Amino acid sequence: MNFYVMTLFPEMIEQGLHTSITGRALDSGIITLNAVNIRDYTEDKHRHVDDYPYGGGAGMVMQPQPVYDCYADITKAMAKKPRVIYMTPQGKVFSQAIAEELSKEENLIFLCGHYEGIDERVLEEIVTDNLSIGDYVLTGGELPAMVMIDSISRLVPGVLNNETSAQYESFQDGLLEYPQYTRPVEFHGKKVPEVLMSGHHANIERWRREKSLERTYLRRPELLKEAALDKKDRQFLEKLYWDQEKNV
């Protein structure tokens, strides 16, 4: 998987992602990262990449020419035009399902805006996907791009050394992850749940499933609508619901 990031702050992207698990994946070559400085493509003698908005208003707008030339340079040797993802709070909200879909691509380009945005004409020409990381406004697209690259990378085979850990966690089957415990057996008077030390795998699996269901029900009930639930899961949730009703 090859990531390209079009940005005015390439060092921010490079530093952020050359750390921890993505850093290791980059060092091993399983993923590659090219943070390309849009400013390197300016034709302005002062190296400006922005200008005043037509029609007036606050702030500056990134000009189309440096953005387009940067894109053309990145894609010139590619046989197939890759998806170009524009980081914008006006986009569809990024999710695990989108991360999974994007993790199957060979090349991905992330376009990071700054100031009041980018001239609409170049966006119309090169952008294939508009994505947001949530309903709040950031100063630029770099943090969203890093968030997306992080979550996509960990789905690329070989990036996580424990192959199963990408599977068995929050959003597996659309549910939140069950709680985890490690040593010591007792901490501040609280014991690790007995079942986890029983060695009884079926009971442990059932307990974890029920904790996932309970957590999702209590913390993110809206996720249950889309979750993959069997009959046993539904019975457990029904009991949880009626137990709660009794207590109010």
Give the footprint of ligand ADE on this chain (CB under 6 A): 87-89, 132-134, 136-138, 141, 144
Are the CB atoms for 111 and 84 separated by under 8 Å?
Answer: yes
In angstroms, give the least distance from the CB of 146 to ligand ADE. 11
Q: Which of 165, 149, 158 is nearest to 16 (CA)?
A: 149
CB of 115 to ligand ADE, least distance (A): 11
The distance of closest approach from Cβ of residue 143 to ligand ADE in the complex, given in angstroms and rounded to an integer, is: 8
CB nearer ligand ADE, residue 98 or residue 160: 98
Cβ nearer to ligand ADE, comparing 84 with 227: 84
Smallest distance from ligand ADE to CB 84, Å: 14
Pairing relation of β-strands 129-132 and 83-93? Answer: parallel
Q: How far is the CB of 140 from ligand ADE (least distance, A)?
A: 6
Angle, CA 143 vertex, CA 141 and CA 149 arms, to 5°:
100
Give which of 197, 88, 87 is closest to 149, Cα–Cα. 87
Q: How far, in Å, CA of 179 to CA of 228, rounded?
A: 19
Q: Which residue lies nearer to ligand ADE by CB, 71 or 86?
A: 86
Backbone angles phi, psi at 89, to 5 degrees: -65, -10
Task: Collect all residues with Cβ–Cβ distance below 8 Å to 228 and sequence separation of at least 6.
Answer: 173, 174
Closer residue to ligand ADE (CB): 74 or 146: 146
Q: Which is nearer to ligand ADE, 134 or 193 (CB)?
A: 134
Phi, psi dihedrals of residue 154, rounded to the nearest 5°: -70, -10
